Amino acid sequence: MVNYKDLGLVNTREMFKRAVAGGYDIPAFNFNTMEQMQAIVMAAVETKSPVIMQVSKGARNYANATILRYMAEGAVAYAKELGCAHPEIVLHLDHGDSFELCKDCIDMGFSSVMIDGSHLPYEENVALAKKVVEYAHQFDVTVEAELGVLAGVEDEVSAAESHYTKPEEVIDFATRTGCDSLAISIGTSHGAHKFTPEQCTLVNGVLVPPPLAFDILHEIEKKLPGFPIVLHGSSSVPMDEVNTINQFGGKLEAAIGIPEEQLREASKSAVCKINIDSDSRLAMTAAIRKHLAEHPGDFDPRQYLKPARENMKKMYIHKIVNVLGSDGKLAQ
């Protein structure tokens, strides 16, 4: 049993309180590789931002659970080495699908876990989330639960269609589960294809997707004043990265994300955690494709992973400073 406090990690409680009160969001970036981890830490240190580094079940299968945990411990030391005396780094399980997986992560040093019972019948979702909360809180680990189902398909996360969160359920759910934050469904979805072109309107040659359901978000806020709300599926799918991928041999058709203005709007509300994974994948892939196309003789991974890391770092800094507003928000 390893406690996250001994690794220099923090849970989400205090940072969420400050983010809700201050009208900004904490970035939650997924990582699977060393380069992603380095780029996240460099971006957080340069912008003096708290950060959530999250690991999915798929990431644990890909990189090995123990290695990822040690990488998060290394992230704290790396942040200090880069000059940040008091980094605020959360190691979070993304989309935990069972009590056993959440317990395993808590026991190995995670400071926060998500239990995703959103696909279950309501009472089963409540019971599962409550069980995880009861275990996690013994160790001061914070818990995110989810109500409502996101559309989209991910390796380990799938939902054929979106069911918006029902505001009339949130008080009962938060009270009975004791969860620390609530992921809601208001029109975001996972992956790089969040909307079909038919669902969008063409404005000045750009496909603009339908707005998020801000009415539902505001109703939820009224029911649970000040309660931390989480948005999954919040990548914006930048067109310049998609175009670079396609220019250098990729084939990403009709990739459409959430406009950044909408995320900026959401950050002023009780939304205090924004999940971004696909934009990191796009930034990495675009840089690698470009580098290898322009330097066909290169075969040392450092030659193409270095620009990939730089491009991800640039994207993370952009999100922190221009979209989420968490720059300069470290407690000390």
Catalytic positions: 94
Binding of ligand 13P by 233 (CB under 6 A): yes
β-bridge pairing 201-203 and 206-208:
antiparallel
Three-state DSSP state, 274: strand
Tell me how far, at minimum, the Cβ of 48 lies from ligand G3H, in Å. 26
Contact with ligand 13P (CB under 6 A) among 165, 235, 244, 267: 235
Contact with Zn ion (CB under 5 A) among 57, 60, 232, 273: 232
Q: What is the distance between the alpha carbons of residues 259 and 233, in angstroms, rounded to a whole number?
A: 12
Tell me how far, at minimum, the Cβ of 110 lies from ligand 13P, in Å. 15
Contact with ligand 13P (CB under 6 A) among 278, 285, 311, 326: 278
Binding of ligand 13P by 277 (CB under 6 A): yes
DSSP string over 47-71? HT--EEEEEEHHHHHHH-HHHHHHH
Binding of ligand 13P by 148 (CB under 6 A): no
Please tell me what DSSP assigns to residue 119. Answer: T
Q: Which amino acid is at 272?
A: C
Give the chain's end-to-end CA distance (angstroms, integer). 29
Binding of ligand 13P by 275 (CB under 6 A): yes
Binding of ligand 13P by 234 (CB under 6 A): yes
In the shown chain, the binding pattern of residues 177 to 216 toward ligand 13P, with x for contact by CB under 6 A and - for none, equals -------------xx-------------------------
Q: Which is nearer to ligand 13P, 84 or 273 (CB)?
A: 273
Span 248-277, contacts to Zn ion by CB under 5 A: 275
Residue 273's contacts (CB-CB under 8 Å, 6 or more residues apart) are 12, 16, 19, 25, 26, 28, 52, 144, 181, 228, 229, 230, 231
Tell me how far, at minimum, the Cβ of 294 lies from ligand 13P, in Å. 27
Q: How many residues does the chain have?
A: 332
- CA nearest to 110, candidates 71, 154, 80: 71
Six token digits for residue 262: 């909408």
- CA nearest to 53, candidates 38, 315, 18: 38
User: Are the CB atoms for 93 and 274 separated by under 8 Å?
Assistant: no
Contacted by 234, from Zn ion, ligand 13P, ligand G3H, none: CB < 5 to 8 Å by type: ligand 13P
Give how far Cα 1 sits from Cα of 43, 162, 281, Å: 30, 38, 32
Contacted by 155, from ligand G3H, Zn ion, ligand 13P, none: CB < 5 to 8 Å by type: ligand G3H
Quick one: which segment of 10-18, 82-90, 103-111, 271-279 binds ligand 13P (CB under 6 A)?
271-279
Span 87-106, contacts to ligand 13P by CB under 6 A: 94-95
Tell me how far, at minimum, the Cβ of 235 lies from ligand 13P, in Å. 3
Binding of Zn ion by 57 (CB under 5 A): no
Binding of Zn ion by 92 (CB under 5 A): no
Sign of CA dihedral 12, 16, 18, 23: positive
Helix, strand, coil shares, percent, the chain, to 5: 50, 15, 35
Q: Which is nearer to ligand 13P, 8 or 241 (CB)?
A: 241
Tell me how far, at minimum, the Cβ of 134 lies from ligand 13P, in Å. 24
Give me the residues that bind ligand G3H (CB under 6 A), please. 30, 56, 58-59, 94-95, 154-157, 190, 232, 277
Three-state DSSP state, 149: strand
- CA nearest to 180, candidates 16, 66, 52, 37: 16
Binding of ligand 13P by 25 (CB under 6 A): no
Binding of ligand 13P by 326 (CB under 6 A): no
Q: Which residues bind ligand 13P (CB under 6 A)?
A: 30, 94-95, 190-191, 232-235, 275-279
Q: Which residues bind Zn ion (CB under 5 A)?
A: 232, 275
